[in-house]
């Protein structure tokens, strides 16, 4: 500000400029203190919120420890010996001859349905669904249950497995 000295009346301008600069610096110091305090509080809160706490233990009621009284020994009654008795012999009955049931028809190829690949067909077979008639007899609830069980995300409904199975069951 030495350059102002060459002009008349410049001392007043210089005084006002110095006052303006010093006022800004004086106001900045408390502002930085507030910013620093806020940042410190934020770090403290962040550390508190992110620390792991056992809420069940924190919310559990406090229980005073129980002082156990001295217990007297209990006299045990004498134990009678165990006597093992053998069962009477059972008469042997000859089994009746087994009548063989008609052989189960071969399973249908479920992979012919749109949306059923080998993995889904194997998963359905594990749950007892091997024929088109089984799928054709499903209800909406059955479809939802199998969809959730196999995690198909609605594939059976989108691809209309029930309608396809009805058509293929009527063909064959």
pLDDT of residue 32: 66
Instruction: For 126-172, write each residue's pLDDT tens digit.
Output: 999 999 999 999 988 998 898 889 888 888 888 888 888 988 888 86
If DSSP states are collapsed to H, E and C, what string results for 105-120?
CCCCCHHHCCCCCHHH
pLDDT of residue 123: 93
Global confidence as pTM:
0.41
pLDDT of residue 31: 66
pLDDT of residue 109: 92
pLDDT of residue 72: 72
The secondary structure of 78-89 as a DSSP string is PPPPP---PPPP
pLDDT of residue 48: 64
- Token pair for 94: 């000859």
Instruction: For 2-44, write each residue's pLDDT tens digit.
Output: 665 666 666 777 777 777 666 665 566 666 667 777 877 777 6
CA distance 69 to 83: 40
Place of tokens 């165990």: 82
């Amino acid at each position: 500000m030495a350059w102002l000295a060459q002009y008349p009346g410049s001392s007043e301008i210089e005084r006002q400029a110095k006052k303006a600069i010093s006022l800004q610096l004086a106001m900045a110091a408390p502002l930085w203190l507030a910013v620093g305090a806020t940042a410190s509080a934020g770090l403290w809160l962040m550390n508190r919120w992110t620390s792991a706490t056992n809420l069940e233990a924190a919310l559990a009621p406090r229980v005073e420890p129980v002082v156990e009284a001295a217990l007297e020994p209990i006299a045990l009654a004498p134990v009678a010996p165990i006597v093992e008795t053998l069962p009477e012999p059972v008469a042997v009955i000859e089994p009746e001859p087994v009548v063989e049931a008609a052989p189960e028809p071969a399973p249908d190829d479920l992979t012919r349905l749109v949306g059923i690949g080998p993995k889904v067909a194997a998963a359905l077979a594990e749950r007892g669904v091997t024929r088109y008639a089984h799928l054709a007899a499903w209800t909406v609830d059955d479809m939802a249950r199998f969809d959730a069980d196999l995690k198909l995300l609605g594939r059976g409904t989108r691809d209309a497995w029930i309608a396809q199975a009805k058509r293929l069951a009527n063909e064959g």
